[in-house]
Structure 1
Amino acid sequence: MEEGKVTVRAVERALDILLCFTDANELTLTEIAMRVGLHKSTAYRLLASLEHKGFVIRDAESEKYRLGFRLWELSANLSQADDPAIVLLPEMERLRDIIGETISLYVRDGHERIRIQAVQSSQAIRRVAPVGVRLPLYVGASSKVLVAYADAVDRESLFNSPTWPQSIDRNAYERQLLDIRASGFATSVEEREQGAAAVAAPILNRSGRLVAALSVSGPANRLTVDKMKEHAEVIKEAAVRMGKMVK
């Protein structure tokens, strides 16, 4: 039994090492060990196993590690037919062409949101939205949509989480969530990032289950509150079309 626990722990540590590369292209052994909280010798052994299996590559000259090609092989077998990031991309591009701002797709993962797809604005001054970034759930138009359309148990878990800021007036926030459900969209102006604004709507599948939040973002001086309200109906219509395309 004890041996099984040790094996599982080693797997968890190896996965933690791979997750280090979610926000870095290359890392040294020291950097990896610090990120996962391991001794360098332990990290080195795990990296050697990952390298042997092709999950990481070590550059002999710089002695830095990067993700290996085996991960690309695995990703090639993902079911594209069920992946909203792929299925909804044409509709996102269509919406970008209509509104002219950056379009993003967010899903909730625990107490965070992840941008799983983005179509950048073609305007010179724009808000760049990198795919894969994790953001807090307590701020931003997309976050409010994901919380507003979550079930009561999930919302309660969020509000009681130590990551949820105590400075947020829960009663006022819940009233805001009710308004979002009534109107079908949420807005934010410089809530997370200075000079940025966003408007978001829920993508609900045919069963009424929340699939993702569809967001339009841009500079606050261009994407004003009035402009966001003007765009809201177009965004909601796009979200309805997208909802019919996913499971």
Structure 2
Amino acid sequence: MEDRKLTVRAVERALDILMCFTRDQELGLSEIAGMIGLHKSTVHRLLTTLEDRGFVIRNTATEKYRLGIRIWELSTHMPHGDDPAVILLPAMERLRDRLGETVSLYLRDGAERIRIQAVQSNQAIRRVATVGARLPLFVGASSKVLVAFADGDDAEKLMADPDWPAGLDRTAYRQQLEQIRLCGYATSYEEREPGAAAVSAPIFNRKGGVAAALSVSGPVSRLSPDKLEEFAPVLMEAAHEMGLLLS
């Protein structure tokens, strides 16, 4: 029994190491150890095993690690029949062409949101959205949509999180969520990132649950508050149509 517990713990730690690369493409031993809270000697042993199996690659010049080809091999065998990032991509491209700004698709993971798909604006000055990026769920148009339309007392649990920003008033946040539920969309103006603005709407699946958040974002020089409000009906219509494509 003890051996089984140790084996499971080792697997969990190895997976924690791999998940570190959702934030940065290359990481050093000390960085990884700090991120997962383990001693460097333990992390080094796990990295050596992952390297031997091809799940990470070590850059001998910088002594930093990055994901290896085995990760790519696994991803190519993932079923895509029910993957919203694949199913909704053509509709996202049409929305980008109609509005001229970057379109992103987000899923929630705990107290974070993950950008699972993005279609970049074709304009010279644009907001580049990186697929796979993890962002805090406290601020941003898509974050507020994912919280506002979640089931039960999800918002209260989020506001009880120890990492809740000290400067973010909970009463005002509750009022924002209520307004978002009434309007059906959320906006943000330099809320998370200076110089960036966004409008987001929920995508509901056929069972009525929130499947994802659809967002249009760009520089504040083009996306004024009035422009965001102008985009909102178009975005909600697109989100509704995308929801019909999901099971």
Q: What TM-score do you get using the length of structure 2 for normalisation? A: 0.93
Q: In structure 1, how many angstroms separate the alpha carbons of the residues matched to 2:11 and 2:18?
A: 11
Task: Give the aligned residue type for 1:222.
Answer: R
For the residues of structure 1 that align with 2:136 and 2:60, how far apart are their CA atoms? 38
Aligned to 2:36: 36
Shift of 1:59: 4.2
**Number of matched residues?**
247
2 CA distance for matches of 1:62 and 1:132? Answer: 24
Q: Which residue of 2 aligns with 1:96?
A: 96
CA distance in structure 2 between the aligned counterparts of 1:14 and 1:89, rounded to whole angstroms:
32
Per the TM alignment, residue 62 of structure 1 is displaced from its structure 2 partner at its CA by: 4.9
What is residue 207 of structure 1 aligned with on the other side? 207
Distance 1:169 1:58 in 2: 44
- State the TM-score, normalized to the length of structure 1: 0.93
Using the alignment, how far apart are the partners of 2:192 and 2:38 within structure 1? 33
Structure 1 residue 76: Cα displacement: 1.5
Deviation at 1:60, TM superposition (A): 4.8
Q: Which ranges of structure 1 fall in alignment gaps of 5 or more residues?
A: none
| 1:185 corresponds to 2:185 | yes
Aligned match of 2:78: 78
Shift of 1:176: 1.7
Please state how far the C-alpha of 1:186 moved relative to its aligned partner.
0.8
Identity %: 65
Inter-CA distance 179–59: structure 2 relative to 1 (3 Å threshold): closer
The 1:158/1:122 distance shift into structure 2, 3 A limit, reads: same
Q: Cα–Cα, structure 1 residues 137 and 31, in superposed 2: closer, same or farther, change >3 Å?
A: closer
Structure 2 counterpart of 1:220, one-letter code = V
Q: How does 1:57-72 map to 2 (within 5 A)?
A: 57-60=57-60, 62-72=62-72
Letter in 2 for 1:39: H
Determine if contact 2:22/2:134 at 8 Å carries over to the other structure.
no
Q: Matches of 1:154 and 1:183 in 2, distance apart?
A: 19
- Return the alpha-carbon distance in structure 1 between the equivalents of residues 168 and 40 of structure 2: 41
What RMSD over aligned residues (CA atoms) do the two structures have, in Å? Answer: 1.7
8 Å CA contact 2:140–2:187 kept in 1: the answer is: yes
CA offsets per residue over residues 204-243 of structure 1, 9 Å max, x none? 0111110111101111121111111111111111000100
Question: Deviation of residue 140 (structure 1)?
Answer: 1.0
Is 2:49 aligned against 1:49? yes
User: Corresponding residue for 1:236?
Assistant: 236
Q: Distance in 2 between matches of 1:134 and 1:89?
A: 19
- Whichever residue aligns with residue 74 of structure 2, its letter is L
1:152 and 2:152 are equivalent in the alignment: yes
Distance 2:29 2:59 in 1: 11
**CA deviation after TM superposition for structure 1 residue 61, in Å:** 5.3
Amino acid at match of 1:120: Q
